[in-house]
Structures are given as C-alpha cells and as structure tokens.
Structure 1
C-alpha cells in the first residue's frame, strides 16, 4: 500500500482460512490499521488483487457487510442509546434473532448496565459493547483494530475467549494489535514495519 511518499507494505501474500486467526503486529504507523481498511474495502489497494469472504472488499456492498464484521479504531456508539438498544438495533439491521439479547449482554459483562445510556459507560464498557456488536451479528470474517484498547485484565481475557470462539465457529479473524497474548492464540502473525 502506497501512502503519501512511501510504501507501508507491498508484495504481501496472505491466505487466512476459515477457523484461522491472523494477528498484525508492528509499531504505530506501520500500516496495521491501513491494511484492515483495505481488507474491509474502505481503501483500495495501490496494487495487486484482494478477496475477502469470496469477493472484492467493498464496505458499501450489503452482501459484503453481511459476511464481514468489523471493529475499527474509530468505531463509534450512539451515546443516547443503551447497550440493549444498540444490540437490538444492530441485530434487527442484520435480520438476526433478537431472542438472546440478554444473553449477549451478560456474555460481555454489560447486563447490569444494559439500560444505561452509552454516554455513562466507562471506556472499557464502551469497548466491550463495540466488540459485542461485531460478534453478535451474523458474519464469516471478523476484522478487529486494537480491540484490547481500554479493556481491563478481565476484558482482555474475554477478548481471548472471543477469538477462540470465533475460530471454533469456523470464522476467519484478522486482528491488528499491540497485545502479545493475542499472538499466542493466532495461527499466523505478520509483523509490519
């Protein structure tokens, strides 16, 4: 990927199969987030070809968005909505089963804060809600940009469980991270920079 006056990365050959996890590592500015943006279709690659979930990445394509769940660095919440409302809205948007909203909220440790506006959640609770939004909806591929950000120790352990569950369900996971334990659960690691 050519950005500004330099290549962040080039000649990458990645093949991450169903049930596998790739961790992108590297210092700030090495291209981890940029690569995730390319994989989600927010940016076009400078050269080469790319296929994610069986098609060219395009975040504007509803069929692609149904296959690829994402949590990017700049993902936001509607602060006037509660965690329950966020999850119900998200699941309804993907025609997913609304029957287990309480179970999902409990899974994320948000059951006691389920009916509090997101504005009043801590940074870690907001991050859990964003992660929950990515994993609760139907998907085949999960892209996560520094998902450990703002999570406490327990939240980071939960994140490890998420990655393990995603792999067991046969989903492909790509994570940009500075959190070394995530590399331990990955099938592949790519150091950029």
Structure 2
C-alpha cells in the first residue's frame, strides 16, 4: 500500500508548514519525519490519514486519496497520534482481547504483553498504569492489529531506554512484514529504521 506525495503543501493559517514535498514510500519501507516542534510533522501524518486536506499538491495511499471516514481505509491503516487514547477502566489484557475481536484475529495476548514488559500489569486497569506503561499499551494497540500502513507520532514519548529498544524492534517487524511505516520523532536512534528521511524546517509566510 504505497504512499505518494506530489508537490504536497500544508499550511496553518498564514504560514506554510511544509511545501513542495515529493516522495514515494513503498511496502516494507519506513519514512522518518524529523524537525523542530511546529515544523509540520504531525500535519503530514494527518494528511496521510485523510484528516487534513492539502493546501497544494496531492497525497495518495494505495493509489487513492486518503479518507479516515472510510471504514475499509481505516482498517488498513493503524495510527497513533497525539489524541489517541485507551479505555481507562479496561486492563491491558482486555484491550488486546477487544482488539482481537474487533479485527477477527487470534492474538497471543500473554506473549504480546510480555514483549512490552506489561505481563505483570495484565490485569491492572489502564488508568492506573504509569505514563511509560500507558505508552506501551497504546503502541501495542496500534501494532498488534492487522495493518498495511502504520503512522506513529513521536512514539518514543514517555518510554524508558528499554521501551525505546522494544519500539525499534516493533517497527522493524512491521516493515519486515511488508507494511509502510511513517513516524515523526525526536529520537535520533529511530533514524536507523529509516529508508527515507523527510526533514522539515522553519515556517514560511504564505505567498
């Protein structure tokens, strides 16, 4: 499910966040977005998910314009953005059970939780987890389900060193399985997962 941008431009009010972006990310590849806060990384992810229309140019996913309102499209893309959340009253095990039911797949819940170092918190409500544990649960929710494209906005946030190593392994498995991964990050080691890097810079006035 290839992602293609052709002359893509996005803006916020009277400033360009990104402009004249041309790229092609094929199945099994990872695109890493870098740059300071406010440079357009999250905006690019929202454009790929169909949450925000380009001001210029086009972006396509699987040869079509992205549309997060389309159920079939949403089932092929897995997304962890700033506003992603969990059910505070559910345990991590219940979250994964719900995910398996929703997508009609069998998940090895015990193995997934152990890999994310959440095995000893499997039956604790998510609302009582630490910030790093909640982040691991959100990442599990995004990556345990089937997907062709994985979009991650600063996935390393709140993770400790072990969590960041686990995240790197998760991304490698996703691309190894043939998915496209696009992630925005401030964590330099994640650049090692990149087949493509898009560095976004300072804002420009609209002209």
TM-score (normalised: structure 2): 0.90
Cα distance in 1 for partners of 2:52, 2:128 equals: 33
Q: Which residue of 1 aligns with 2:199?
A: 191
Indicate conservation of the 8 Å contact 1:26/1:191, yes or no. yes
Q: Which residue of 2 aligns with 1:179?
A: 187
1:69 is the counterpart of 2:78 = yes
Moved more, 45-54 or 8-17: 45-54
Cα distance in 1 for partners of 2:84, 2:116 equals: 18
Cα distance in 2 for partners of 1:33, 1:71 equals: 11
Give the alignment partner of residue 45 of structure 1, picking from 37, 42, 54: 54
Unaligned ranges ≥5, structure 2:
1-9, 202-207
Cα distance in 2 for partners of 1:148, 1:179 equals: 7
Moved more, 21-30 or 57-66: 57-66
Cα distance in 2 for partners of 1:103, 1:26 equals: 35
Q: CA offset at residue 91 of structure 1?
A: 2.3
Aligned pairs, number: 192
Give the alignment partner of residue 30 of structure 1, picking from 16, 39, 50: 39
Cα distance in 2 for partners of 1:25, 1:156 equals: 17
- 1:147-193 per-residue CA deviation (whole Å, 9 max, x = no partner) reads 00000000000011111111111111000000000112211111101
| RMSD of equivalent CA atoms | 1.1
Runs of 4+, deviation exceeding 6 Å: none
Cα distance in 2 for partners of 1:107, 1:54 equals: 35
Indicate conservation of the 8 Å contact 1:53/1:68, yes or no. no
Indicate conservation of the 8 Å contact 1:53/1:67, yes or no. no
Q: CA offset at residue 6 of structure 1?
A: 1.1
Q: CA offset at residue 54 of structure 1?
A: 3.7
Higher strand share: 2
After TM superposition, the structure 1 = structure 2 runs for residues 1-193 of structure 1, keeping only pairs within 5 Å, are 1-98=10-107, 100-193=108-201
